[in-house]
Amino acid sequence: MQNEDSFLELIPYSSRTPEQLACWDTGVSPTYKLLRDPRDLQEFAHYGRVFAIWRDNGTLTYISTCRNHDMPHCFPKYLCLTFHDDDPTFYIVGKSDDAVAETAALFVDLKDARYHDNDFICIDNIGVGQLDFCAAGPQCLSRLFAISPPRVVILVGLTLSAEQSAVLATQSYPLKLTFKDCGFEDQGTAFVDALSTRRSMFGSLKFRDNFYMDISDDNLKRLFQVDVIHHLDLPLLSDEVTRLSFSAKVKSLDCCLSISSMDSDFESLNIVTSKNCISRSPATWTHFQRKPHCPCFNVWQNWAIWWN
């Protein structure tokens, strides 16, 4: 489909280079190039269920407009952008992190204000390692929050600049922000600095890390002194930092404990939070059962304890 107002032009199959060939799990889709920047997410609905866009920076963006769970085929790493359930999903592949981040910034800018309840955005680096998202710039996130503020933000496998992390920490309304396997260019200093200057409640802050936890222990300790976070969710940390997390000035805390942490003198801890949840392994529970008179039970009797 093409008319005077089209923003895409089809690249004929015979003219496509190998990098421009959009191979999905279910087959090959059309590949287009941009004639102009798209105005909004709804424009993509006119180009079929699945297709791709090639940009001059060497990125190929796979676009699914119908949530049909079709995925790019044979790519070890790509960036996935997910918005509201009715919006397209974008899968961006490219040879450099900078190019992928720049293309992501283009599509993030298209998020609109149609949805308010349960509004969210997920930027997910699917593959091994972190993707350097710094090239998207802080203005990418600033415009996102200015035009259509999401209430739930999930970032996976990204490295953020100091300026980008500060944007996330300074929004005027409560967020539900999740970092999973993310890194900070400055190990989280700017993020904690910005949170420390807030006067309104931040909301929920979750660190979900299977492989990476690129925020320094010193900045985590500073984070525990910030009194504007409603809920804090932490992965397994060092024993020292875990013990200090119990004194975090938050309304509720979710944390993980290692077996060695169980031998600490928990009765001496300054536990500030009124709602707490501990995640522990089966081995940790066995350790508990062998010490039925452990003073820890006096501290934890009103806590929720979950299996890992």
pLDDT tens digits, one per residue of 93-146: 999 999 999 999 999 988 765 554 557 899 999 988 899 999 999 999 998 888
Exposure letters 179-193 (e unless 16+ CB within 10 A, then b): bbbbbbbbbbbbbbb
Of 3-17, 109-123, 161-175, 284-298, least confident by mean pLDDT is 284-298
Lowest mean pLDDT among 5-9, 21-25, 27-31, 186-190: 5-9
| Residue 27, pLDDT above cutoff 90 | yes
Report yes or no on 194 lying in a domain. Answer: yes
Residue 116 located in a structural domain: yes
At a CB cut-off of 8 Å and minimum separation 6, what does 205 contact? Answer: 177, 229, 231, 232, 233
User: CA 200 from chain center: how many Å?
Assistant: 22
CA 52 to chain CA centroid, Å, is 24
pLDDT at 300 over 60: no
3-state SS of 133-165? CHHHCHHHHHHHHHHCCCCEEEEECEEECHHHH
- 39 assigned to some structural domain: yes
Share of the chain above pLDDT 70, in %: 79
Q: Which residues pair with 90 in a beta bridge?
A: 63, 81
pLDDT per residue as tens digits for the range 224-235: 999 999 999 999
Q: Provide the angle, in degrees to the nearest 10, between the axes of the packed helices 97-108 and 138-147.
A: 20
In contact, 307 and 282? CB cutoff 8 Å:
yes
At 10-23, the pLDDT tens digits run 999 999 999 999 99
> Of 68-82, 173-187, 247-261, which has the strongest mean pLDDT?
173-187
* Residue 306 counted as domain residue: no
What is the pLDDT averaged over residues 263-291? 56
- The CA angle 132-137-138, to the nearest 5 degrees, is 120
pLDDT at 255 over 60: yes
Candidate from 247-256, 259-268, 277-286 with smallest mean pLDDT: 277-286
- CB distance 141 to 164 below 8 Å: yes
- Higher pLDDT residue, 240 or 74? 240
The answer as to whether 302 is a domain residue is: no
- Does the residue 277 lie in any domain? no
Full-model pTM: 0.86
When divided into structural domains, the chain yields a total of: 1
**What pLDDT shows up at residue 294?**
45
- Answer whether residue 17 is part of any domain: yes
CA-based end-to-end distance of the chain: 51
Round to whole Å and give the CA distance between 280 and 277. 10
Structure token pair of residue 5:
């107002």
Give the count of beta carbons closer than 10 Å to the beta carbon of residue 203. 18
Write down the mean pLDDT value for the chain. Answer: 84
Query: Could you tell me the residue range of the domain that residue 202 belongs to?
Result: 8-233
Six token digits for residue 96: 């450099």
- As given in the structure block, the two tokens for residue 258 are 């290692």
Q: Is residue 24 part of a domain?
A: yes
35-40 contacts, C-beta under 8 A, 24 or more apart: 35/6, 35/7, 35/8, 35/9, 36/7, 37/7, 37/106, 38/7, 38/110, 39/7, 39/110, 40/110, 40/112
d(CA 59, CA 100): 6
Confidence of residue 42 (pLDDT cuts 50, 70, 90): confident
